[in-house]
Structure 1
Amino acid sequence: MSVGHITRLDDLAADWLARLESPECSMAERAAFEDWLAASPRHVEAYLEAERLHLLAAGLADDELLRAAIGEMSPPAPRTASRTRRSRWRPWSAAVAAVLVLAIGAATWLRPQPPQVAGYATAVGEQREIVLEDGTRMLLDTDTRVETRFDADLRVVELISGRARFEVGQDPDRPFLVRAASGTVRDIGTTFQVSRRGDDIDVGLIEGIVLVSRGDDGPGRRLAPGEQLHVDPQGRFTPTRALDLEVANGWPRGELVFRKRRLDDLLVEMNRYSEVPLRLAEPELAGIAVSGVFRVDEQAALVEALRQGWGLRAESRDDGVFLYGPAE
C-alpha cells in the first residue's frame, strides 16, 4: 500500500468521524459509514486510529502541564539592560526542561512492550468466564481452548477449538480480533459468539458490529445484530442468515434450545458436555425432529424426555448410553 493511499485513507476516516459527530448526520450517512467499514479491515483500522487521535487531542487540550510549558515558551517580555544575559534566558531554559520531560515521558510510553500472551481452556462439561485486562468478558463453553495475545497495537484471541462468547471492552487504541482457522472476526465494541469445529467456523452477532474476513486483510462480510454466517475450511462464506437469539443466549445459561432439530444434532451438542456419550443404536432414529430446552448437565433428564416424548429406550454400556426405537 502506497504512502499516498494511506494518507487518503486517514483523511477519509477523519471525515467520517467528523460527519458522525455532527447533529445533522442522517441515517443514510450512518448506513453508508457501516458499508465503508465493511469494505475492508483497513477501513476499520483507519477509523479506530482517527478516533484515537481525536480522543488524544481532546485530552491534551486540557493538560495543565502542557499548557504551562507552552505558556513559558512564549516570547519573553522586554527586559531592562541591567538584567544579565543569563537571567534573560532562564524562562526559556525552564520551558526546554519541561519539553524534555514530556519528550522523555513520551519515549518511555512509546517504547515497544512485550506482548501479553496467555492460554485458557475448559474441561468437558465446564464453562468458564474470564475478564481480560482490557475489560473484555470472555465466556468459554465446554471443551474450549483459546490463546490471547495483547500488545500495543492489537488485541488478538485465537480460538483453537470449541465455542466462546465475547463482550468486548472499549479500547480505541487497539482493534480486537478473534482468529479461528481461516476466518478473522474484527470487533467494533460489541457482543458476539464464535464456534469452531475442526476448521469450520460459525459467527453469531448479538449486538454491535463485526466484520468477518478471510484472514486479517481478506475481503469481509459485515454482520448486523441478530445475524450469523458460516465459514468453511476453504474460507468461503455461506449466505448470512438469521441468528436464533434464544438459542444463542441458551448455552451461556447451560441450556440447549432446540426447535425441530434432528436428534443426531442434539446428541452431538449434548455429548460435548459429558464424558459418557449418548449414541444411536439404530441409525434411522437420527432424523427424528426434536424440540425443547435441555440442561447440558442433566443427561438423564434428556434420556427420560426422549422416552416419554418419543418412546425411545436407553441401554447403558461401557462405551456410552445407546438409544433404541420404541419396542414393537
Structure 2
Amino acid sequence: MAGVADDERADQQQPAHDDRVVDEALDWFARLRNATPDRETRADFDAWLARSPRHAEEFRALEAIWGSAAFGKAVAGLGTPTRPTRTVAAPRRRPRWAGGLAAAAVLLVALGLWQYPAIMLRWQADYLTAVGQRSTITLPDGSTMMLDTTSAAAIDFEDGRRNVRLLGGQAFFDVQSDPARPFRVTGRFGAVEVTGTAFSVRSDAGQDRAVLERGRVEVSRLSGGTERVALEPGQMAVATAAALSTAMPVDATEALAWREGRVIFDDQPLASVLDELRRYHGGPVIVANAELGRVHVTGNYRLDDIEGAIRTLADAAGASMTRLPGGIIILR
C-alpha cells in the first residue's frame, strides 16, 4: 500500500526547527521524560543548561507547556487508534510554536508521539496531501478519490457503508454505481449523497462547496432541517453553518482544472486569484498595495510553477515581485 509506505518513511524523519536551541530543548525534554536518566545523562544535561541562559529558558518553557491547560485540551480524548493512518504525504511543519494548541503540537512532536503540527487532523485522517501535492486513492468499493493540495479525508467502508469525511481541502470522487449502497461525503457543514457519479467537494473558508461533473447528486446541510438541493451536471451548491444555497451554474472545466494540474480563472480580482494560488505555494504571498488586489486578471497556469504564475500575473497587473528566503513573495 503506497499510503502506508509513505507513512513509514515520514515516521523516520526528525522534527526540524529554525532555532537550534529549540531543537536541543525539545530533544532533552523528550529524553528526560521518556526514561529515568542515568548519572552520565544527567551530567550532560546539566552541562547543556550551563552553557547558556537561553537553554534553561527554553527548557522551562517546555515544562510550562506540559502542564498548561492548552496542552491538556490538545491531547484530551486521544486514545489508542483503531486503525493506522495511511498518509499520502506529510503536511509542512511549523518552524516554532507560538503558544496554545500549536505549542502542544510541537511538544508532542518532541515526545515522539506525533510528527505533525496539526495533531487532531493527523489523528482523524486516513489520507493527507502536502502543499502542492495531488494524489488519487482507490477506495474499497472501487471508487476513486483524488485529493487536492493540503487536503485530508477519513473513510468508513465497514458493514456495507460507503462514507467519506472530508476534513479539509478539496477532493474529486468518481463513484462506482451501487443503488443499494449510497455513497456519502460529508464536510464541515454539508453532505453529498450519490449512488454513482463524479463530483468534487471543497471544504474551506467557512463553507462546503459541491460541484457536479456528471450524473446527479443531492446536497444537504448537516444541521438545520431536512432541506436538500439536487444538482445536475455543471451545477454547484454551497453549504454553510447557516444556510444551503440553491443549485447554481458553474464552469466545471474551470472549477475542476486542478485535477489536470492547472488553475483557470477569467476576469477575477488578483486578490482572489492569489488566495487560490497560495494553497499550492509553500510560503506566504503578500500584496503590499491594496489597489493591486482589485486589478482583474485572466489566466490558465500550471500548478507546478506557482512562482512563475505569480510573476506573470504581477507583470500583467503592472506590479513588481520580490522573492525572499523561505518562499516569501511580495507584490507591490
Name the TM-score, length of structure 1 as normaliser: 0.60
Q: Cα 1:115–1:321, aligned 2, differ >3 Å: closer, same or farther?
A: closer
The corresponding residue for 2:71 is none
The corresponding residue for 1:252 is 259
Q: 1:296 aligns with which of 288, 291, 303?
A: 303
Q: Are the aligned partners of 1:115 and 1:152 in contact in 2 as well (CA < 8 Å)?
A: no
Give, in whole Å, the separation in 1 of the partners of 2:179 and 2:84: 18
The corresponding residue for 2:215 is 208
Q: 1:321 aligns with which of 300, 310, 329?
A: 329
Q: Are the aligned partners of 2:254 and 2:265 in contact in 1 as well (CA < 8 Å)?
A: yes
Give the deviation of 1:204 after TM superposition. 0.5
Q: 1:227 aligns with which of 230, 235, 240?
A: 235
Q: Which runs of 5+ in 1 are unaligned?
A: 1-113
Query: Which residues in structure 2 correspond to 1:54-203 (within 5 Å)?
Result: 119-203=126-210
> Residue 276 of structure 2: SS of its match in structure 1?
helix
Q: Cα 1:271–1:131, aligned 2, differ >3 Å: closer, same or farther?
A: same
Give the deviation of 1:278 after TM superposition. 2.0
Give, in whole Å, the separation in 1 of the partners of 2:173 and 2:160: 19
Give, in whole Å, the separation in 1 of the partners of 2:166 and 2:205: 11
- Tell me which of the two structures has the higher relative contact order, counting C-alpha pairs closer than 8 angstroms and 6 or more residues apart: 1
Aligned-partner residue type, residue 147 of structure 2: L
Q: Cα 1:218–1:167, aligned 2, differ >3 Å: closer, same or farther?
A: same
Give the deviation of 1:273 after TM superposition. 0.8
The structure that has the greater radius of gyration is 1
Give, in whole Å, the separation in 2 of the partners of 1:309 and 1:158: 40
What is the aligned residue count? 210
Q: Are the aligned partners of 1:256 and 1:294 in contact in 2 as well (CA < 8 Å)?
A: yes
Q: Are the aligned partners of 1:314 and 1:322 in contact in 2 as well (CA < 8 Å)?
A: yes
The corresponding residue for 2:282 is 275
Aligned-partner residue type, residue 233 of structure 1: A
Task: Encode CA deviations 1:12-46: one digit per residue, 9 max, x unaligned.
Answer: xxxxxxxxxxxxxxxxxxxxxxxxxxxxxxxxxxx
Give the deviation of 1:115 after TM superposition. 10
Task: Encode CA deviations 1:89-137: one digit per residue, 9 max, x unaligned.
Answer: xxxxxxxxxxxxxxxxxxxxxxxxx999960010111000001111111
Q: Cα 1:286–1:308, aligned 2, differ >3 Å: closer, same or farther?
A: closer
Task: Encode CA deviations 1:251-306: one digit per residue, 9 max, x unaligned.
Answer: 10111100001111111111111112322011121111110101112123213312
Name the TM-score, length of structure 2 as normaliser: 0.59
> Residue 180 of structure 2: SS of its match in structure 1?
coil
Give, in whole Å, the separation in 2 of the partners of 1:141 and 1:131: 15
Give, in whole Å, the separation in 2 of the partners of 1:284 and 1:238: 31
Query: In angstroms, what is the RMSD of aligned CA positions?
Result: 2.2
2:292 equivalent to 1:285: yes
Aligned-partner residue type, residue 314 of structure 1: M
The corresponding residue for 2:50 is none
> Residue 233 of structure 2: SS of its match in structure 1?
coil
Q: Are the aligned partners of 1:116 and 1:150 in contact in 2 as well (CA < 8 Å)?
A: no
Give the deviation of 1:171 after TM superposition. 2.5
The corresponding residue for 2:79 is none
Give, in whole Å, the separation in 1 of the partners of 2:220 and 2:313: 40
Give the deviation of 1:172 after TM superposition. 3.1
Q: Are the aligned partners of 1:135 and 1:170 in contact in 2 as well (CA < 8 Å)?
A: no
Give, in whole Å, the separation in 2 of the partners of 1:184 and 1:145: 16
Give the deviation of 1:203 after TM superposition. 0.6
Aligned-partner residue type, residue 160 of structure 1: L
Q: Are the aligned partners of 1:231 and 1:238 in contact in 2 as well (CA < 8 Å)?
A: yes
Q: Are the aligned partners of 2:221 and 2:244 in contact in 1 as well (CA < 8 Å)?
A: no
Task: Encode CA deviations 1:59-104: one digit per residue, 9 max, x unaligned.
Answer: xxxxxxxxxxxxxxxxxxxxxxxxxxxxxxxxxxxxxxxxxxxxxx
Aligned-partner residue type, residue 152 of structure 1: D
Q: Cα 1:262–1:249, aligned 2, differ >3 Å: closer, same or farther?
A: same
Give, in whole Å, the separation in 2 of the partners of 1:188 and 1:218: 19
2:313 equivalent to 1:306: yes
